[in-house]
Amino acid sequence: MASLRLHLIFILLLFAILLGPSLLAPASGAVITVTVSRDSVSIQMNFELTENLTTSLPTLDTVVDQSSPVLAPMQSGFQSMVPEARIEQLSLHARTEQIDNRTGLWVFQENYTITLSGVTNNSGGRIAADLAFLSSKNNQSITVSGVELNNVGRSYLVQGYQRFPPDSKTRYFAQTGEYTLPVTPELFTSSFSILDLSWTSHGVDRTGGYQPFDSSTIWNLQPRITPYNVTVGVGLTTEQTFLKKYVAYLGSSVEIIAPPSAQADGTTILFDLPTIAETIAPIIIVISLITAIATFLLERRISKPIRLARGRKR
């Protein structure tokens, strides 16, 4: 009986090790998640601009698809890096909301779901996906319901500096720089576009890769400096702190998900298509495990009456 229990425990552990990772979808907290497949690339972009540099943002809560004016400028931005890129599907939910009445903080959220074709190449069982489109510098105007979605720095944020005229107790910060006048932060803000993804091509730490038994290969890209981050400090104290701070910043991170054993060569993701043997191997494993479990249960069912019969004879 003990050997049968050990047999079952071994089967269950083997089942968990071999198939467990494939049953768990990777959870992503990245701003941009790119999933690479054989014929296309799926992109999820969840931008969230947080700010109280202005007193308010325009009211917006809208959902659009590829039939909207959003598609053309987005596609041309991707094509500036990969000419064959084509957006097959697009959906966008854009909204603004005040999240803190006390501090005056607002968020400008833009959640894109995109399917992109024309960026993968099949050369006899080996797929090469060109992700150069991720570093596109898109500064085209994109307007939905009368609200600018891309060039929000020029359209909304830069006007916020007018609230904070320069004086001896006001400081302006942009990225890692500190200024006594708003000129540089204003220029930096005026050039800020949410869909300017050029930050992914430089000053980025890349981690991750394929791990044994994982169902996918995952890389994470994190910029060393946030692409857009400004602060105005008002009321400088003798302790070099500020009575109030006003901010505007956009989160930034990228997660790339590719099939198992994929490799990265610059902006290209390479992976091999599974052979027939590799495709049916999981099926064979499942059938073998089911057969083993069924055999164990059958043996247990048969052995129980035998033990009872032996007990009566005694």
Q: Which of 123, 147, 141 is nearest to 57 (CA)?
A: 147
Please check whether residue 140 lies inside any domain of the structure: yes
The reply to whether 4 and 106 lie within a common domain is no
For residues 221 and 283, membership in a common domain is answered with no
Whether residue 17 is found in the same domain as residue 78 = no
Distance CA 114, CA 34 (A): 10
Residue 57 domain boundaries: 31-149+194-227+251-273
For 248-292, what is each residue's pLDDT tens digit?
999 999 999 999 999 999 999 999 987 554 445 456 566 666 776
pLDDT at residue 23 is higher than 60: no
pLDDT digits (tens, 9 = 90+) for 72-124: 999 999 999 999 999 999 999 999 999 999 999 999 999 999 999 999 999 98
- Kindly state whether residue 173 falls inside one of the protein's structural domains: no
pLDDT given for residue 314 in this prediction: 55
Same domain, 69 and 212: yes
Instruction: Write out pLDDT tens, residues 156-165.
Output: 999 999 999 9
Q: Give the distance from CA 247 to its chain's centroid.
A: 24
Residue 185 lies in a domain: no
Q: Please give the average per-residue pLDDT across 211-236, as a whole number.
A: 94
Domain contains 87: yes
| 256, 205: one domain | yes
Instruction: Kindly state whether residues 211 and 117 are assigned to the same domain.
Output: yes
Which is nearest to 229 in space by CA: 245, 250, 204, 246?
250
- Residues 57 and 10 both lie in one domain: no
* Of residues 132, 137, 114, 143, the one with CA closest to residue 195: 137
Number of domains in the chain: 2
